[in-house]
């Protein structure tokens, strides 16, 4: 695995909107081959067309991250197309006030399935980079976001354990915790009062998804002997 982004094979879950979509665009523009997973096939196809039309490399596999076999199929498709996987970006996620069962399936199990799918290839390569997406809510609990925060604390805990366990295989691991970034995430809140509160808050403080994409590119582009383990960033205007 070389320094920089260009030429790397990057698998991204939750690539059909928001942070994953922005990361796919930036990394492809910097020369990565991106392998995109999410449930909305039409959105993925549009993104693949956009990236390839501008000379980039992208392929899409419709994926529900709550289904382990589908996540494995996504990673394996990337390895089949490109011969290896350099980066696994476990980004797919839902917000507070979603059903507890779904939050755990997507936000925790989805990340574990991504790790499980990527690790056999990375350990065999003796190289790779796993990036998990937590949140400011993985550092601070607020009323109304209890289960969401629990899932994001879990992502940080499992990222730290992963960091230590993959050392023998020369694999890097990063957990990125964004503050409020303008995406479709608040739309996934099902409680109406909470949704309008969150939408107001986002309208006041949120920053563009390109902020996240740059953080991902920064972590990936370090020389191989540099392992950026945690990135926590917020809008400058955000208190929480
Ligand atoms: P969006 O709602 O815009 O995007 C979420 C993405 O996850 C979509 O591509 C969606 O695709 C995908 N997704 C949801 N459920 C599944 C599933 N079961 N299987 C596969 N893909 C799924 O939100 P964001 O871009 O903001 O969210 C991305 C990550 O960032 C999440 O983990 C979120 O918790 C985290 N985050 C976001 C913050 C923000 O302020 N935006 C702050 C902190 C963290 P599809 O519906 O097509 O499957």
**0.95 cut: is pTM over it?**
yes
What the block records as the tokens of 107 is 């936000």
Buried b (16+ CB within 10 A) or exposed e, 47-85: bbeebeeeebbbbbbbbbbbebebbbbbbbbbbeebeeb
Structure confidence by residue, pLDDT tens digits, 18-76: 999 999 999 999 999 999 999 999 999 999 999 999 999 999 999 999 999 999 999 99
Homologous superfamily (CATH) for 9-178+208-231 = NAD(P)-binding Rossmann-like Domain (3.40.50.720)
Confidence category of residue 97, pLDDT binned at 50, 70, 90: low
What the block records as the tokens of 158 is 């499992």
pLDDT of 206: 97
Catalytic residue flag (residue 202): no
For residue 62, list its beta bridge partners: 38
Pocket of ligand 1 (CB under 6 A): 13-20, 38-40, 43, 63-66, 91-94, 106, 133, 135, 178, 180-181, 183-185, 188
pLDDT of 85: 98
Q: Is the pLDDT of residue 101 over 90?
A: no
Instruction: Decide which of 1 and 28 is more confident.
Output: 28
Place of tokens 């936000």: 107
Residue 46, Cβ neighbours under 10 Å: how many? 14
Instruction: Decide which of 184 and 82 is more confident.
Output: 82
Residue to mutate, 38, 133, 231, ligand 1, most ligand atoms under 8 Å from C-beta: 38
Cα 91 to Cα 100: distance, rounded to the nearest angstrom: 18
Percent of the chain past pLDDT 90, that is, above it, reads 85
Cα 236 to Cα 68: distance, rounded to the nearest angstrom: 37
Confidence category of residue 186, pLDDT binned at 50, 70, 90: confident
Distance 123 CA to ligand 1 centre (A): 27
Instruction: Decide which of 18 and 94 is more confident.
Output: 18
pLDDT of 143: 84
């Amino acid at each position: 695995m070389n320094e920089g982004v260009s030429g790397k094979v990057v698998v991204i879950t939750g690539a059909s909107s928001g942070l994953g979509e922005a990361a796919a665009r930036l990394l492809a523009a910097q020369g990565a081959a991106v392998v995109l997973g999410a449930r909305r096939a039409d959105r993925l196809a549009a993104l693949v067309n956009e990236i390839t039309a501008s000379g980039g490399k992208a392929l899409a596999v419709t994926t529900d991250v709550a289904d382990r076999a589908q996540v494995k199929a996504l990673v394996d498709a990337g390895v089949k197309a490109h011969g290896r996987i350099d980066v696994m970006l476990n980004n797919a996620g839902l917000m507070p006030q979603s059903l507890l069962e779904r939050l755990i399936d997507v936000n925790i199990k989805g990340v574990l399935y991504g790790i499980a799918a990527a690790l056999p290839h990375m350990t065999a390569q003796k190289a790779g980079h796993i990036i998990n997406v937590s949140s400011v809510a993985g550092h601070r609990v607020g009323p109304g976001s209890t289960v969401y925060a629990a899932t994001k604390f879990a992502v940080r805990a499992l990222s730290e354990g992963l960091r230590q366990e993959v050392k023998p295989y020369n694999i890097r691991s990063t957990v990125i915790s964004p503050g409020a970034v303008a995406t479709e995430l608040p739309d996934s809140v099902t409680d109406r009062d909470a949704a309008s509160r969150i939408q107001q808050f986002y309208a006041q403080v949120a920053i563009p998804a390109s902020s996240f994409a740059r953080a991902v590119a920064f972590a990936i582009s370090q020389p191989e002997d540099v392992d950026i383990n945690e990135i926590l960033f917020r809008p400058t205007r955000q208190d929480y």
